[in-house]
Structure 1
Amino acid sequence: MIKDILVSLRSGEGPDNTVDYAVSAAARLGAHLTGVAVSYEIDVPPVYTEAFSTDFIEAQRAEGKRLADQAVARFGEATRSLEITGEVRTIDGTPGGAAEQIAIMARLYDLAIVSQADPENLGSEEVIAEAVLFDSGRPLLLVPRSQSKPFSAKRIMVAWDGGRASARAVAESRPFLEHADFIEAVVVETGRSKPNALPGADLARHLSRHDKNVELRRLVPTGDEGIVDVLLKEVAARDIDLVVMGGYGHSRLREFVLGGVTRDMLDRMTVPLLLAH
């Protein structure tokens, strides 16, 4: 069951669609929602410290606090609008340091929700998403920046490749699968299977024992289509609410490195994406 959710509050001007989505998810699931706001500090390497005046650094800190306060105010308005139980935690730090703190914090929540990074204005969201995915041990729900619909898990697509991360994602998705009216398992046939991968039929058989009927589809890319092209086309054709997939990559000396398909999906996702690693 999902009863305790953490959402990363976006610093910056304007609305935060991810907070609205997280609030609707908490209301639908009957969960407590904690928002974490970051008062960002600039990351100045020691060798360059003398190049920045104390006044400049203090002004940057003040601006970071102002934006964090705005995020907290937005969160408060959203939680009050649906009368859910919520609380706020505020942390200070550089983007990398804050991401690590949020990932550690997420270990004691059932789910962490983070906004998709904005390719036109790269900020902290991508770093936070990668840190939570690799370092929290908990599932990550990524919300597109363009998301306007409230939470729904009526129509779920599982992107299945039979690997360990896919299996972990399916296990973490069970509280959402309970709400589904339609579950589709998609296997993209690329001609290159993972070693020891389990076939999609085995996934359908497994979920049937949880009283869930699964439609299994094997899709073949055409022309110059990639895996993500195929998945996104299927999402649109089947009016999918939520995609479940394994998050591939690794963490090396605290440096997070996403796999190509995972990175591409995060960049181009059109519906919320549940990831586990």
Structure 2
Amino acid sequence: MTYKNILLHADLSPHAASRYELACQVALSHEAHLVGAAFTGLTMECYRNAAFGYGGMLAPTDIDAVTGNSAQALDRFVVQAKAAGVSFERRISDDDSETGLVLQSRYADLLVLSQSDPELTGPDWLRKLPEHLTLHSGRPVLLVPYAGRYTHIDRHALVAWDGSRAATRAVTDALPLLRRSQHVTLAVFNAQTQYGVHGEQPGADIALYLARHGVRVEVTQQHTPAGLDIGNALLSLSADLGADLLVMGAYGHQRWREIVLGGVTRRVLQSMTLPVLMAH
């Protein structure tokens, strides 16, 4: 597997530039085509007006404003993509970001967006965009923390392994990145509590699988102390190793309009301190 089509969320967030920068680096290193996609949300607004305004039309000034914002976001993306020398295109859609990114991710190998920043104002669905896309896009999602600048993810990758379907999916989807990483550490937490999941040597089988794919990997057994959840333990281990990428499965399900996440997934989404590739 290789990455040849990468989908990037484009908006006017103050964190967009660092997201664009990392996406350009990944696309360049994999000789991939980068698609910057921005969304006006006009389709949703039209339906809302039809339902509550008895067919009332959107004001032309409002349409111009949201379209102009999306165009401005794409203009900034184009500047960075040209400077990086990457193959790219820009797309603008009248879908909302949730709907549009899920649809367009069907034709991409990787989706890149930012971690939600709790300090930013905006609709509730926009703050939940990372978890929604992780669970519903069907593609691996590379999340860039809102704090800091991240220019590389090829020095030391940390893989969280628990033998689950989601972890298997994440490892497989991350193979193009793991093959390029100078060092990969595969961490197995509390293997003694996971009956029937691991072999005689927890992590050995998946490490052999990775090695056969050209990944330089070593396995570490981790035991979380009392009071420390695995999400925090993962982030702590990432810092201790100096990792620049975390690969993990995402756990959760949709309950009506509420997304119910697993504890580790929720903790990492809230507190990530390095880029994270998640797959569901």
Question: Scaled by the length of structure 2, what TM-score is found?
Answer: 0.86
Paired with 1:194 and 1:11, the residues of 2 have a C-alpha distance of 47
Q: Aligned with 2:94: secondary structure?
A: strand
1:6-21 map, 5 Å: 6-12=7-13, 16-21=17-22
Q: What is the letter of the counterpart of residue 102 of structure 2?
A: A
Contact 2:102–2:137 (CA under 8 A) maintained in structure 1: yes
User: Which range moves more in the overlay, 167-176 or 133-142?
Assistant: 133-142
1:14-163 map, 5 Å: 16-41=17-42, 49-50=52-53, 59-94=61-96, 98-121=97-120, 123=122, 125-163=126-164
Q: Aligned with 2:228: secondary structure?
A: coil
Match of 1:167 in 2: 168
Match of 1:259 in 2: 262
Contact 2:249–2:279 (CA under 8 A) maintained in structure 1: yes
Number of aligned residue pairs: give it. Answer: 273
Q: Aligned with 2:184: secondary structure?
A: strand
Residues 175, 15 of structure 1: alpha-carbon distance in 2 compared, 3 angstrom cutoff? closer
Q: What is the letter of the counterpart of residue 112 of structure 2?
A: I
Deviation at 1:155, TM superposition (A): 0.8
Deviation at 1:134, TM superposition (A): 2.3
Q: What is the letter of the counterpart of residue 188 of structure 1?
A: F
Deviation at 1:20, TM superposition (A): 1.5
Deviation at 1:153, TM superposition (A): 1.8
Match among 212, 217, 240 for residue 215 of structure 2: 212
Contact 2:254–2:260 (CA under 8 A) maintained in structure 1: yes
Residues 58, 221 of structure 1: alpha-carbon distance in 2 compared, 3 angstrom cutoff? farther
Residues 260, 65 of structure 1: alpha-carbon distance in 2 compared, 3 angstrom cutoff? same
Q: Aligned with 1:16: secondary structure?
A: helix
Q: Aligned with 1:275: secondary structure?
A: strand
Paired with 1:169 and 1:13, the residues of 2 have a C-alpha distance of 28
Paired with 1:58 and 1:226, the residues of 2 have a C-alpha distance of 51
C-alpha distance after superposition, 1:193-218 (max 9, x if no partner): 37646632222222222343422112
1:271 to 2:270 alignment: no
Deviation at 1:135, TM superposition (A): 2.4
Match of 2:229 in 1: 226
C-alpha distance after superposition, 1:25-73 (max 9, x if no partner): 112221110000011347585698349x867x65544332232122111
Question: Scaled by the length of structure 1, what TM-score is found?
Answer: 0.87
Structure 1: 5+ residue runs without aligned partners?
none
Contact 1:6–1:34 (CA under 8 A) maintained in structure 2: yes
Q: What is the letter of the counterpart of residue 41 of structure 2?
A: Y
Contact 1:116–1:125 (CA under 8 A) maintained in structure 2: no
Deviation at 1:129, TM superposition (A): 2.3
User: Which range moves more in the overlay, 68-77 or 255-264?
Assistant: 255-264
Contact 1:177–1:183 (CA under 8 A) maintained in structure 2: yes
Residues 229, 255 of structure 1: alpha-carbon distance in 2 compared, 3 angstrom cutoff? closer
Q: Aligned with 1:178: secondary structure?
A: helix
Deviation at 1:247, TM superposition (A): 0.9
Deviation at 1:125, TM superposition (A): 4.7
Deviation at 1:101, TM superposition (A): 2.1
Q: What is the letter of the counterpart of residue 210 of structure 1?
A: H
C-alpha distance after superposition, 1:161-200 (max 9, x if no partner): 1100000111111111111121101122286437646632
Paired with 1:177 and 1:109, the residues of 2 have a C-alpha distance of 19
Contact 2:98–2:132 (CA under 8 A) maintained in structure 1: yes
Structure 2: 5+ residue runs without aligned partners?
none
Residues 191, 184 of structure 1: alpha-carbon distance in 2 compared, 3 angstrom cutoff? same
Q: What is the letter of the counterpart of residue 99 of structure 1?
A: E
Deviation at 1:14, TM superposition (A): 7.3
